[in-house]
Amino acid sequence: KNEVEQSPQNLTAQEGEFITINCSYSVGISALHWLQQHPGGGIVSLFMLSSGKKKHGRLIATINIQEKHSSLHITASHPRDSAVYICAVPHSNYQLIWGAGTKLIIKP
């Protein structure tokens, strides 16, 4: 069992739909990262959160430390949101354990 698991692996939706991507982890953590990667591109850090909820524009991230679960939501999805979304948790003092990523495609 991977230490960080994401679901779904692939998600295709229509423009405007509400999107949810889930992340479960098995290790004890102090915080969790959500990152975005466009095809052929670098990685953009979206959120780092250790409790509760964070919101940035149409993106919302929540985390439940007790249940070891986090979700990333996108409201009013748009084709430009199409990307791979990755959750990652700290391992030791410096490394990140990466989830496999969720490939999101938003169709116009």
Partner 1 sequence: DTGVSQDPRHKITKRGQNVTFRCDPISEHNRLYWYRQTLGQGPEFLTYFQNEAQLEKSRLLSDRFSAERPKGSFSTLEIQRTEQGDSAMYLCASSFNHNEQFFGPGTRLTVL
Question: Residue 32 is which amino acid?
Answer: L
Within 10 Å of residue 77's Cβ, how many Cβ atoms? 21
Shortest Å distance, C-beta 37 to partner 1: 9
Site map (CB under 8 A) of partner 1, residues 35-74, x = contact: x----xxxxxx--x--------------------------
Choosing from 54, 69, 82, 90, the residue that interacts with partner 1 (CB under 8 A) is 90
Query: How far is Cα 51 from Cα 59, in angstroms, rounded to an integer?
Result: 16
| Distance of alpha carbon 49 from alpha carbon 94, whole angstroms | 16
State the residues that interact with partner 1 by CB under 8 A.
30-31, 33, 35, 40-45, 48, 86, 90, 93-96, 98-101
